[in-house]
Amino acid sequence: MTRGLIALAILIVVGLIKLPVEHNLAALHRQEHFRGVEFNLDLREKLGQLGFIAALSGFRAIVADALFIQAHAAWENTQWGRMLWLFRQVTALQPHVLLFWDTAAWHMAWNASVAAMNDSNQPRQALRVKAQREYFAIGKEFLERGIKNNPDRPELYEALARLYKEKYKDHGRAAEYYAKASTLPEAAPWDRRFSAYELSYTEGRERDAYERLRSLYDEGEKERLPTLIKRLKFLEDKLAIPPDQRIPDTLTKH
């Protein structure tokens, strides 16, 4: 009975001590916008002991930077599995640093995928292609998770658009993500134009692409770039736009 009372007293004291600490940690998490990340067993397994302690103690940025450097070294040594593991820890620790998401996606969807396709140790092309596409998917996942954590920043939408364009050859999805980027406050001035370009390569979307490109053209000289005029001319021919509705043949300067 005495031992039970002592144990109960210890639990009560520990609980009272933990309350302000946990409150301060929760306030720190909110202040630093650690949105969408729960400090639970799943995160503990992803980060490992050091990373989890860092996440709870306010040293996330320092540990994330150190792991980022290790990931760079893993890339130089073509240690793709280790690099992936490190980048997953880095992005879990610092989900609002766009550089980490973008770099992780680039290494996986571009560098690792090229290495997989050129792997001399794998004689079967079908398996090399399979590995390549798996790396594409990992890169895409990084960007999608990055967007989920940073929905108001255009850079990762642009990166995902480039991935769809260059790796999946999916111009429709590329147009979609450039369009999403173009609606955000910090969007680049070329996002609308790039979205229209990609749409012009999408089968069945030519009319929509034409209307967007023509609308940009009608905004004035600053939008009348050679690529825009070239794609607009192509669509005028494909859609059989009447001669009196077409733009002039002379290319305007940048």
Q: Where are the domains of the chain?
A: 58-245
Q: Model confidence over 197-245: pLDDT tens digits?
A: 999 999 999 999 999 999 999 999 999 999 999 999 999 999 999 999 9
**Backbone phi and psi for residue 223, each to the nearest 5 degrees, phi listed first:** -95, -5
What pLDDT is stored for residue 105 in this prediction?
A: 98
Task: Considering only CA atoms, give the Rg of the chain.
Answer: 25
Helix (H, G, I), strand (E, B) or coil at 111: helix
What pLDDT is stored for residue 59 in this prediction?
A: 76
> Quick count: other Cβ atoms within 10 Å of Cβ 70?
18
In whole angstroms, what is the distance from residue 205 CA to residue 114 CA?
A: 31
What pLDDT is stored for residue 62 in this prediction?
A: 86
What is the CA angle 197-198-204, rounded to 5? 110
What pLDDT is stored for residue 177 in this prediction?
A: 98
HEC profile of 8-31: HHHHHHHHHHHHHHHHHHHHHHHH
> Which positions of the chain have pLDDT values less than 70?
1-58, 250-254
Say how far residue 180 (Cα) sits from the centre of its chain: 13
CATH of 58-245, one of 3.40.50.10800, 1.25.40.10, 1.10.10.10, 1.10.3720.10: 1.25.40.10
